Amino acid sequence: MSAALIGGLGMAALLVMLLMRVPVAFSMFIVGFCGIAALNGVNSAVSLLASESFTLGSSAELVVVPLFILMGNVATATGMSRRLYDAAYAMVGSVRGGLASATIIGCGGFAALSGSSVASALTIGKVSLGEMKRFKYDDRLSTGVVAAGGTLGILIPPSTGFVIYAILTQQSIGRLFLAGILPGLLLLLMFIGMITFLCWRNPKLGPAGDKLSWAQKTVALRGALPIVGIIFVTIGGIYGGIFSPVEAAAVGAGLVILMGVWFKTLSLMQLWLAVKDSIITTATVMLILISAHMINPFLALSNIPQTIGAFMGGLEIPAIAVLGLILLTYLILGCFLEGFAMLVLTMPIFFPVIVNLGFDPIWFGVLVVLTLEMGLISPPVGLNVFIVKSVARDVPLNKIFAGVFPFWGVMLFSLAILVAFPQIALFLPNSMFD
């Protein structure tokens, strides 16, 4: 049996297991291990498993994952995320659609702490959905805003999506973090612009909230100062060259814990639960990465990436059209696969093509992460939609998907802007590292 045929059978088996809802990590591990055993022998597969597990487990760069996750979990436990939302509401909540805009701002701020889209949607959703219901916001707008706003967690640094991309492609985590800042802010502002447009067109979608006095606004803004300060120290430290991403993660996690102790909002039980949840999430990420490092050599041995790369590189179309085909593939896969699964399955195939075509790998990383965001609100899988459904149980799924559709369009438009103007993503990393 030829290597190409074994590779094709392996990919078919992987697809079948994913359709059967076998966890992504286990599916990739089984296919990778069995494929390498079929091509190079069982001893080779066992040896690779041992070496890759040790290499990943001892990687200093991966320390950013548990530390940033811990930072987000502790911020949630201490109520910092609620204070961030209250500050956003104080700024814009009294205008039409203001609560929805405050939700987007809150999601963006929380994203700069947790790096997790799911955590952003879940945490801010618990805080904001009840408030929007109280002010009689349309269910489609309120749930759509939370689901879409949560996607900012994978683009605004620190982002676990960027960390995984960096590990898989051997790129700089620091450069990727910086590259995500301006696109993340652009997307946040465009979300707010869409909310403003929708509420201008149909005022019943988002009525104005209560007007707060200057004293109330001052109190709300003052309450958010600690979390804003932590965000400034961690992200600003990376941009200023004071911290490496790993050091920034440690400083951020330490500051959040110290703030919780100082203000007496963090108990030992809350800290233990935050640590426990961070360990579970980190173990899940590590299992996916180990599985990815099993399936990638299998793909290389079967020559599948080389064959697809040669085919795409040999197409008599402009390089930008090849990039468009790759991004279209991600948009389609995002309807069915989880983001990390898409990254680990496709990077060995598409990344060499991108490099050979002369595209900047940092810029490509931003484009890929943005398409992963779109997958989080794309039917039928749409993970963030189901997260919002778990909070807003009385809202039908079709209403939530209808609510996210305008924001999905905004994300597609943002993707087009980033393709047309790469410097939006590359300005900060190039200005710092060059």
Q: Which residue bears the tokens 């949607």?
A: 121
Close Cβ partners of 310 (under 8 Å, ≥ 6 residues apart): none
190 closest CA partner among 358, 426, 430, 424:
424
User: What is the pLDDT confidence band of residue 336, given thresholds at 50, 70 and 90?
Assistant: low
Average pLDDT over residues 368-394: 81
Q: Rounded CA gap, 261 and 169, in Å?
A: 39
User: What's the confidence (pLDDT) of residue 381?
Assistant: 63
pLDDT, mean of residues 145-156:
86
Cα(183)–Cα(162) distance, integer angstroms: 13
Give the integer Cα–Cα distance in Å for 319 and 354. 9
Higher confidence at residue 341 or residue 5?
5
- Residue 380's pLDDT is what? 65
Amino acid at the residue 165: Y
Read off the tokens for 199. Answer: 């509420």
Residue length of the chain: 434
Q: How far apart are CA 157 and CA 15, in angstroms?
A: 31
pLDDT score recorded for residue 433: 62
Read off the DSSP letter of residue 61. Answer: G
In sequence order, which ranges of 20-138 are alpha helices (DSSP H)? 24-40, 42-57, 64-77, 80-92, 98-114, 117-134
What pLDDT does 114 receive?
66
pLDDT tier, 353 (very low <50, low <70, confident <90, very high otherwise): confident
117 neighbors 376 (Cβ within 8 angstroms): yes
Tokens of 187: 């997307």
pLDDT in the model for residue 97: 85
* Secondary structure class of 171 (helix, strand, coil): coil
Is residue 174 within 8 Å of residue 238, measured between CB atoms?
A: yes
What is the average pLDDT score of the chain? 83
* Predicted TM-score of the model (pTM): 0.76
Q: Which of 108, 72, 113, 65 is nearest to 87 (CA)?
A: 108
pLDDT at 404: 93
For the ranges 27-31, 166-170, 225-229, the one whose mean pLDDT is highest: 166-170
Nearest to 180 by CA among 351, 428, 433, 430: 428
Q: What is the pLDDT of residues 76-90, one digit of tens each?
A: 788 777 787 778 778
Supply the pLDDT for residue 106.
81
Q: From CA 210, how far away is CA 206, in angstroms rounded? A: 13
pLDDT above 70 covers what percent of the chain? 92
CB contact at 8 A, 230 and 258: no
| pLDDT at 318 (0 to 100) | 86
Q: What is the pLDDT of residues 181-224, one digit of tens each?
A: 899 999 999 999 999 999 989 988 888 767 778 888 888 888 88
Tell which wins on pLDDT, 191 or 233.
191
Region 48-68: mean pLDDT is 76
Section 137-163 average pLDDT: 86
C-alpha to C-alpha distance for 160 and 116, rounded to whole angstroms? 7
Distance CA 189, CA 99 (A): 15
Mean pLDDT, range 224-245, rounded to an integer: 79
Q: Which has more pLDDT, 21 or 409?
A: 409
Residue type, 383: L
pLDDT greater at residue 68 or residue 380: 68
* Distance in angstroms (rounded) separating the CA atoms of residues 342 and 230: 32
Q: In Å, how far are 18, 69, 120, 319 from 256, measured between CA atoms?
A: 38, 12, 17, 45
Q: Do the Cβ atoms of 425 and 362 come closer than 8 Å?
A: yes
Give the Cα separation of 350 and 192 in Å (integer).
33
The predicted-structure confidence for 265-292, as pLDDT tens digits, reads as follows 889 999 999 899 888 877 877 777 777 6
pLDDT at 191: 94
